[in-house]
Chains A and B, each alone.
Chain A
Amino acid sequence: MSNTVLVCDDAIFMRTMIGDILTQAGFEIVGEAESGLQAVQKYRDLKPDLVTMDIVMPDMGGIEAVREICKQDPDAKILMCSAMGQQALVVEAIQAGAKDFVVKPFQPSRVLEAVQRVLG
């Protein structure tokens, strides 16, 4: 059975792109979230194997969402999606429990590498 993924990003463009990369690699996108709040709710409902999480989102940002999700499930496998220049936020996310990160603009190979590491 393929691994299930919850994609969290407020931009449709980014959700589509990540979705495509992962679908082509054989993952199953089970849900999408446009805000941190939605991400927390959907994680509870969908129990995905992996979460990709944008850092800056409305209604609870990505870092806060990581914190909430890890509170529910300390083993949650969350991959942060960050823009360049957000290192401090990435550091914060890692401290909050995120397992790895990729930096935009995404290179499919790097995204998949990171996903493998997180699921590894």
Chain B
Amino acid sequence: MADPKYAALFLAESREHLRSCNALLLEWEQTPGASEPVNGLFRAIHNIKGMAATLGYAAVADLAHRAENVLDAVRSKRAAGTPELIQLLFRSVDALEKAVEGAQSGKGEPSATLLAALDKAAGPAGERLEKPAASNPPTGAQPGAAGAPGGAAPRLPARGPAGHLVGVTIRSGTPMRGARALLALRRVEALGKITALRPTAVAIEREDFDGRFSFHLRTGAEPAVIEAALRSAGDVERVAFDADVSVEAEGPVVAARQIRIDLHRLDTMMKLVGELVVARNRMLELMRGGDSELVELGGGISRLVSDLQSQVVAARMTPVSEVFDRFPRLVRDLGRDLGKQIRFEMEGGSIELDRSILDELGDPLLHLIRNAADHGLESAADREAAGKPPEGRILLSAVRERRTVAIRVSDDGRGIDRAAVLAKAKRDGLADPAAEMLTDDLLLRVLARPGFSTARQVSGISGRGVGVEVAFARARALGGSLEVQTETGRGTTFTLRVPLTLAIVRALLAQAGDERYAVPLAYVAETVEFDPQAVTTLRAREAVVVRDRVIPTVHLRDLVAAKADSLPPRRPTIILEVGERRTALVVDGLLGQQDIVIEPFDAPRGLPPYLGGATILADGAPALILDAAALV
């Protein structure tokens, strides 16, 4: 039972269920009469209970069981879905989360008050679902159960006369497993009423499943009788009851075609593919001008490597909803704590990002959303006084923009007080004392300064710094950027922009002096010829006019202090674009595009901020990678 593989699966599955619990509770709260959220919650919690009982996690199973009782009471109309009851279930889900996380160490036991509240809400004991076998004192007084020698799992008993949860596996290789499953179902139909069939009957009939299905049978029949009935349909390999029913069989139909992969394994694959790409590039370089058959073979291998690369990248792509989905609950709680009415909306949840990038976004988004709720939105009274609807709005959205994803946190609150920030910036010597206006850029730089958050005297924006600092640093670390737009009285939008994937990116190679530099294509808008005639100035900086747009210039030579050879007669210019901002990077020459593997610097101390890492080029020579976000 202590098999770490099962413990890990339990954790992963339970977390998924708990996440859907939060979503379902929110849905229920919006539509108190609906029955689907209640059924969904019941299923999710029932699943957790089943797994926990199997692994001997008594505290989790006990808590889940009590929560299940409450849900059952609602389902059978013995209790109503009042706001208090929903709040109680929110608390239970939180407690369940703690219990699940602490299950292995025997920690995270729920409080007796919560358990008592659940029992009270579930109504008279006689009408509840049968208690867990152990029927221990409330707090599941066997913390050591999981690790107890020979730890017999306290199986939750079958749900008495109410029936059984039944899981069936049709032998693999059986022709027409769907029809076979249907036969099995018809055999047990004679014994009772089938509900909660997973996958759906339609999916089973179409054989859109992997041979496993589960259902609840409301019956007085013994498991042995049910099993015999199922087996009489033929080709039934396995029948499981209640806690033994594998949760996979309950999952969505598509889950049957998916497997879980340890992220480390994907990371390793990605790294290997990265090295393969570099080797491929080097190989193509060496093959140039060689035997024609060899060149053809090289081309074939090259295409295969590219396909492999895109497959591995695709395998790592995860919808942003994985991270987004935790926020509705957070905002709901924030709204309650702050006494604000907040409407939280999400868009673009299906946009995909590299898993390793996505994992880094939870924190910064949390801070930005918290700031929006806490500081961005006004109280209902203030909003009404300003002629706004009392309910504040926070929008979390993801948009794919070229090879980056822009994630925005927008509020329709008061906006950031530029004057106050400017005054503060002047005091700190960050802004020109004569400055009259604070640009969005400078605003962001001020907000993102580590010390800024402690500046409590700046009313209305205190505390903003912490979150912005985190988001700013994280965005930069990922090769992305953070932008802010704010309008007094109308609201604030933070845009966190990150590349689609790390590790392998397509880059433009540029030359300055003797050195070569890689510029990730994600931020390259276009390349143009540098035209000295078009040079002008913009706020005391050199700029160039490209298609009627004045763009500040940066000369790569100056930036990297390249040896002052004579300037080449023609100088290409790379127009970098990060969000709305552009910079014209003037270089000595362009050397084409290449897939590069980014090797981040280990300890980037004392390195200029415009360097984002290093890479090995196709010819085996190293090159530095320019960080576009730092240049614009």
| Chain A residues proximal to chain B, CB less than 8 Å | 82, 84, 87-88, 90-91, 94-95, 99-101, 103, 113-114, 117, 120
In the complex, A99→B206 CA distance in Å? 19
Does B233 lie within 8 Å of A117, measured CB to CB?
Answer: yes
Q: How many A-B residue pairs have CB under 8 A?
A: 36
Q: Which of A88, A103, A120 contacts B205 (CB 8 A)?
A: A88
Q: Which of B176, B183, B186, B233 contacts A103 (CB 8 A)?
A: B176
Given contacts A88-B205, A94-B183, contact A117 B234 (CB under 8 A): yes
Q: List 6 A-B contacts (CB under 8 A).
A: A82-B176, A87-B179, A87-B207, A91-B182, A103-B175, A117-B233
Given contacts A100-B183, A103-B176, contact A91 B233 (CB under 8 A): no
In the complex, A100→B232 CA distance in Å? 10
Q: Is the interface of A mostly helix, strand, loop or mixed?
A: helix
B50 within 8 Å of A (CB atoms): no
Q: Which of A87, A95, A113, A120 contacts B176 (CB 8 A)?
A: A87
CB of B202 to closest CB in A, whole Å: 10
Instruction: List chain A residues, Cβ under 8 A from B234.
Output: 100, 113-114, 117
In the complex, A44→B291 CA distance in Å? 81
Does A94 lie within 8 Å of B179, measured CB to CB?
Answer: yes
Does B232 lie within 8 Å of A87, measured CB to CB?
Answer: no
Instruction: List chain A residues, Cβ under 8 A from B207.
Output: 87
B178 within 8 Å of A (CB atoms): yes
| Chain B residues proximal to chain A, CB less than 8 Å | 175-176, 178-179, 182-183, 186, 205-207, 232-234
In the complex, A94→B183 CA distance in Å? 7
Does A117 lie within 8 Å of B176, measured CB to CB?
Answer: no
Instruction: List chain A residues, Cβ under 8 A from B176.
Output: 82, 87, 90, 101, 103
CB of A2 to closest CB in B, whole Å: 22
Chain A CB within 10 Å, residue with most, of B175, B178, B232: B175
Q: Which 7 A-B pairs have the closest CB atoms?
A: A103-B175, A90-B179, A91-B205, A87-B176, A117-B234, A91-B179, A87-B179
In the complex, A37→B233 CA distance in Å? 28
Q: Which of B175, B178, B232 contacts A91 (CB 8 A)?
A: B178
Given contacts A82-B176, A87-B176, A103-B176, contact A94 B232 (CB under 8 A): no
Instruction: List chain A residues, Cβ under 8 A from B182.
Output: 91, 94-95
In the complex, A117→B187 CA distance in Å? 11
Instruction: List chain B residues, Cβ under 8 A from A84.
Output: 175
CB of A83 to closest CB in B, whole Å: 10
CB of A117 to closest CB in B, whole Å: 5
CB of A116 to closest CB in B, whole Å: 9
Given contacts A87-B207, A88-B205, A94-B183, contact A117 B178 (CB under 8 A): no
Instruction: List chain A residues, Cβ under 8 A from B233.
Output: 100, 117
In the complex, A99→B183 CA distance in Å? 8
Instruction: List chain B residues, Cβ under 8 A from A103.
Output: 175-176
Given contacts A95-B182, A117-B233, 4 further A-B contacts (CB under 8 A): A87-B206, A90-B179, A99-B183, A120-B232
